[in-house]
């Protein structure tokens, strides 16, 4: 057996294992650049995330609801600006502008944290908490808007699981770098690495655009994505409330956000009570992220594509709300730290490996303008509105003397409503895909 034959068999084995064996050569090239794009993006975010969480806790858990309020207000201000860029700029240019704007912001934070006093650090930390919360949702939303503009629903079922693994591996790399290097280079050194990785994301996005256009020209296709998308600044908001389908996607995100925030606040309380040292808290958050990402990666590489292909979008969407409902039900009777960690890990793994790819596929069935403007409004403002509601509700429950078990009692029916919505939403998408295929044939 010659070396070429061995190499060919190894490649075929990897492709088969990752469930991308039906991908053609053109898809593989696009997929790899998109994979590197999201890998770089999430590596930068998972460097910033534990720093954000530590700075948020340093300012006091009791102040977290105010930080969530600040984040929602920031979303209100940024969304019209984003819509304006989408209206006036080509896809390629607004991706560059968006990412490099955030890179410049990071340089400002790095400088401010380096020269500020301990008291000033608390306020800079609060601004940084809000900034990272905005950054995360915007840059990831831009990525998925771009990707669903390139791949269709059928390709999404086959390829998005592998693509999501790039986000997970970026998360693993970012968490590992942070926990292992924070003592040596400090938070400022980590911020510089994050800036470099954002620039890598810009490079990958441009390569993805070039490859997509080259393949289109070879196939005789004509693309109009170099033109601005146009439309109004508030189109995304208007379309969300006019379309039952888009409004249901918004509700799905809202339910996810509210239940996630409830669990996030409990995690913050644990960290505040157990750790007194800033670097220890940063490492603690990074280690949790690391193990969640490891389990998620296994699911994404081995199961996501198969589950989407075999069971469809509707069933895959239901997995996260079902796990959430069962998790809160378990916390009613057994409100222990061990059960809480198990619920949190199961939820996050289910979200990253199943719910996220499935809900991105939902946007392959909407107009191009909605893939950018409406999707961004849902991914950012609606998501943070859920945060806002949950953060103040959680604070109110604690002030009223409710324990985690008491809060779980309230969360169970909310999660069940989310499950019912997911069934309807998944079936609606699959019905649209069937109609689309019939029209094409």
**What is the SS3 assignment for 130-184?**
HHHHHHHHHHHHHHHHHHHHHCCHHHHHHHHHHHHHHHHHHHHHHHHHHHHHHHH
How far is the C-alpha of 357 from the C-alpha of 306, rounded, in Å? 12
How far is the C-alpha of 391 from the C-alpha of 81, rounded, in Å? 26
Helix 153-218 × helix 118-150 angle, to 10°: 80
Give the model's pLDDT for residue 420. Answer: 94
CA 76, 79, 84, 89: dihedral to nearest 10 degrees? 160
286 contacts 416 by C-beta, under 8 angstroms: no
Give the model's pLDDT for residue 58. Answer: 61
3 state DSSP class of 22? coil
CA-nearest of 270, 286, 73, 294 to 176 is 286
pLDDT at residue 255 tops 50: yes
Task: Determine the structural domain holding residue 368 and report its residue range.
Answer: 25-440
pLDDT tens digits, residue range 307-353?
777 878 888 899 999 999 999 999 888 877 778 778 888 899 999 88
How many C-beta neighbours within 10 Å does residue 348 have? 20
pLDDT at residue 7 tops 60: no
Please give the average per-residue pLDDT across 63-71, as a whole number.
77
How many C-beta neighbours within 10 Å does residue 273 have? 9
Q: How many domains does the chain have?
A: 1
Give the model's pLDDT for residue 430. Answer: 79
Q: Is residue 3 part of a domain?
A: no
Give the model's pLDDT for residue 293. Answer: 76
pLDDT at residue 40 tops 90: yes
Cα 377 to its chain centre, rounded Å, is: 14
Please give the average per-residue pLDDT across 373-397, as a whole number.
84
348 contacts 256 by C-beta, under 8 angstroms: no
Give the model's pLDDT for residue 19. Answer: 55
SS3 content of the chain, % helix, strand, coil (to 5): 90, 0, 10
41 contacts 107 by C-beta, under 8 angstroms: no
CA-nearest of 121, 156, 234, 153 to 435 is 153
Q: Is residue 383 part of a domain?
A: yes
pLDDT at residue 90 tops 80: no
For the ranges 44-48, 60-64, 156-160, 163-167, the lowest mean pLDDT is seen at: 60-64
392 contacts: CB under 8 Å, gap ≥ 6? 65, 68, 69
Residue with tokens 């592998």: 162
How far is the C-alpha of 304 from the C-alpha of 164, rounded, in Å? 9
Report the CATH number at residue 432: 1.20.1250.20
Residue with tokens 């809000």: 130
386 contacts 258 by C-beta, under 8 angstroms: yes
With cut-offs at 50, 70 and 90, classify the pLDDT of residue 289.
Answer: confident
Give the model's pLDDT for residue 178. Answer: 86
pLDDT at residue 34 tops 80: yes
Average confidence score pLDDT of the chain: 79
- pTM for this prediction: 0.72
Please give the average per-residue pLDDT across 14-33, as a whole number.
66
Give the model's pLDDT for residue 385. Answer: 86
231: left (phi over 0), alpha (psi -120 to 50) or beta: left
pLDDT tens digits, residue range 197-254?
999 999 998 888 888 777 766 554 445 555 555 555 567 778 888 888 889 999 999 9
pLDDT tens digits, residue range 123-157?
888 888 888 888 887 888 888 878 877 877 777 77
Q: Is residue 6 part of a domain?
A: no
CA-nearest of 63, 54, 174, 198 to 125 is 54
Q: Is residue 253 part of a domain?
A: yes
């Amino acid at each position: 057996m010659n070396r070429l034959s061995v190499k060919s068999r190894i490649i075929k084995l990897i492709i088969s294992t990752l469930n991308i064996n039906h991908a053609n050569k053109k898809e593989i090239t696009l997929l790899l650049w998109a994979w590197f794009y999201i890998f770089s993006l999430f590596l930068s975010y998972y460097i910033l995330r534990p720093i954000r969480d530590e700075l948020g806790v340093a300012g006091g858990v009791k102040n977290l609801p105010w930080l969530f309020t600040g984040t929602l207000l920031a979303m209100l201000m940024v969304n019209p600006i984003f819509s304006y860029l989408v209206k006036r700029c080509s896809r390629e240019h607004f991706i560059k502008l968006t990412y490099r704007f955030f890179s410049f912001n990071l340089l400002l934070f790095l400088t401010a944290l380096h020269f500020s006093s301990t008291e000033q650090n608390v306020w800079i930390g609060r601004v940084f908490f809000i900034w990272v919360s905005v950054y995360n949702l915007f840059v990831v939303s831009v990525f998925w808007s771009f990707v669903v503009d390139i791949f269709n629903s059928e390709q999404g079922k086959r390829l998005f699981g592998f693509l999501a693994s790039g986000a997970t591996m970026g998360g693993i790399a970012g968490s590992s770098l942070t926990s292992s290097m924070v003592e040596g280079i400090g938070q400022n050194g980590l911020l510089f690495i994050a800036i470099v990785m954002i620039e890598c994301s810009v490079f990958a996005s441009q390569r993805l655009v070039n490859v997509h256009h080259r393949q289109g020209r070879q196939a005789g296709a004509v693309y109009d994505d170099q033109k601005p998308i146009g439309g109004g600044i508030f189109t995304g908001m208007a379309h969300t409330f006019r379309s039952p389908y888009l409004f249901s996607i918004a509700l799905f995100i809202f339910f996810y956000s509210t239940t996630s925030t409830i669990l996030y606040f409990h995690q913050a309380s644990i960290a505040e009570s157990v750790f007194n040292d800033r670097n220890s808290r940063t490492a603690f958050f990074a280690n949790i992220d690391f193990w969640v990402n490891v389990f998620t990666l296994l699911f994404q590489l081995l199961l996501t594509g198969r589950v989407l292909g075999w069971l469809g979008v509707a069933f895959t969407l239901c997995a996260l709300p079902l796990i959430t409902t069962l998790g809160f039900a378990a916390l009613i009777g057994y409100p222990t730290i061990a059960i809480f960690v198990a619920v949190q890990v199961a939820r996050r793994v289910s979200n990253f490996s199943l719910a996220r790819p499935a809900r991105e596929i939902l946007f392959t069935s909407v107009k191009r303008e909605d893939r950018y403007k409406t999707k961004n409004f849902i991914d950012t403002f609606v998501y943070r509105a859920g945060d806002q509601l949950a953060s103040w509700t959680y604070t109110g429950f604690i002030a009223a003397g409710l324990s985690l078990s008491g809060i779980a009692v309230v969360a169970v029916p909310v999660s069940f409503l989310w499950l019912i919505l997911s069934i309807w939403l998944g079936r609606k998408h699959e019905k649209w895909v069937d109609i689309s295929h019939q029209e094409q044939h």
